Chain A
């Protein structure tokens, strides 16, 4: 039921459905599991072009609403999380749909995500990395013109002595796998569903 509500983007009823499940004794962890399973199907539908951006966004927002109810009941310590991610669209680029989808998918998959927004200055990525000590930094660029900024962020992390502690993933319409290698990023993903798998892979390699 919860899984279906996520897949169908039943944003008006998700709160009632989650509450109902909790009241009838379903463990919060299992509710979360259902929501993640739903988002996985949404990711598959997006990849198969059964879903486009509107449908996928609606499912992601539905999950967010469910998560808001669930969060106080999931007493995660930071160490239980799968990893901490900061993510943003680089400076000069104001596109953020894809990046927001990635953030919501990652959160749905159990990562702690701090979404820095769009048009994020290089200095802000650095400052947030110092403050939050993320495992992963996600950079997005929609336009080929702002792609160059991604390399600049990674260089700046090197200069500041922060590069060794984080994994960089990049995505967006402009960059490619090859470009990711060129600028020394740790990974590239083509869409939100693949970004989740990439982060899981990178984190397991790290351990």
Chain B
């Protein structure tokens, strides 16, 4: 059974020949595998594709996480980006400026909306711009037959909070101008849906929708249900209808909102290490498959035995059906290569 098949069966809540393993190899890690600076990796579609394929082949895990938040970089963006010694700043199509530092992944340097009147001027990003979908096309062409290609979209709540408005202002907006917040979220849901549909058209096997700003350390379950859940659901349902499978990832402790997440229409939930997999499987395992949650801290600085034990515990808790071994979140930048080898090896050993 090849990786793509193995991953798909687990996504479908069934039991493949072995549990798939799929660490969240992100900008800091993949660029190190490739031996280039993070900003070189992010701003060159060919290097980006090369880095992801190189990492998959090096470790032999079952998926490729096509993880760029704005997809591939376009010629316009390359022209408009400013470069310092250690970082670059890229103005993105909807307005937010992102910074790619020497260490670490992209972060929003400047959100787009100073006030909500600007919302009326926002137009849907042009997903047909040359370069935008180049990484996905290339990944599919080069490894799409045998490896599961999962492409990222940003959840409406996270895109609105972190990218468009800035977290502090957005948090206050939720309490002080909820109607405007919902208007913005509606637009961001359309962006997510159009992006996901485009990825499905091109042939992505799955979609990973990340909503870290909706973590239960940040907002209450009540606010999650009012501002995050309805839009996650809207996006999942639209993409399901279009034939797409969605994994939702939220960082932190999602224990209190697991049942909601399972009702969004997502096929699979990616949970952080704060969530108990046995408990999650019992509560929502009949509705969704689960993905997670080997501690990124242990992968960063744990011993060989700690990593092995962590993978084994995850499998003991989750079982073999409808489960994919992954890291609890994106890998820390200094995570030793050897530790990802150890994670994959343990998953192969205990996942049979």
Contact = CB atoms under 8 A, between A and B. Distances in A.
B143 interface: no
Interface residues of B, number: 28
Interface in A8-45: 9, 11
Contacts of A95: 107, 167
Interface stretch (B112-120, B168-176, B281-289): B168-176
A94 B108 contact: yes
A97 B219 contact: no
A145 interface: yes
A96 interface: yes
A61 interface: yes
B99 interface: yes
A178 to B, nearest CB: 11
B220 A52 contact: yes
B99 A119 contact: yes
B341 interface: no
B223 interface: yes
B226 to A, nearest CB: 11
Contacts of B171: 53-54, 57, 97
A55 B333 contact: no
Contacts, number: 67
Contacts of A91: 101
A119 B217 CA distance: 22
B103 A146 contact: yes
Interface in B310-346: 332-334
A97 B212 CA distance: 14
Interface residues of A, number: 23
Nearest to B300: A144
A93 B128 CA distance: 32
A51 to B, nearest CB: 8
Contacts of B265: none
Contact of B219 (A52, A61, A146, A148): A52
A100 interface: yes
A143 interface: yes
Given A58-B172, A95-B167, A145-B104, A53 B218 contact: yes
A145 B332 CA distance: 6
Interface string B161-200: 0000001100110111000000000000000000000000
A144 B223 CA distance: 27
B332 A96 contact: no
Interface string B265-303: 000000000000000000000000000000010001000
Contacts of B333: 144-145
A92 B172 contact: no
Nearest to A92: B101
B28 interface: yes
Given A94-B99, A119-B99, A146-B103, A55 B175 contact: yes
B244 interface: no
Nearest to B100: A92
A148 B301 CA distance: 14
Interface string B217-259: 1111001000000000000000000000000000000000000
Nearest to B98: A94
B102 interface: yes
B206 interface: no
18 contacts: A52-B218, A53-B171, A53-B218, A54-B223, A55-B220, A58-B172, A58-B176, A92-B102, A92-B107, A94-B107, A96-B168, A97-B167, A143-B104, A144-B296, A144-B300, A144-B334, A145-B104, A146-B104
Given A54-B172, A144-B300, 5 more contacts: A57-B171, A92-B107, A94-B107, A96-B168, A97-B168
Top 7 A-B residue pairs of the complex, sorted by shortest distance between their CB atoms: A145-B104, A92-B101, A54-B171, A145-B333, A144-B332, A52-B220, A94-B107
Interface of B: 28, 87, 99, 101-105, 107-109, 167-168, 171-172, 174-176, 217-220, 223, 296, 300, 332-334
Interface of A: 9, 11, 52-55, 57-58, 61, 91-97, 100, 119, 143-146, 148
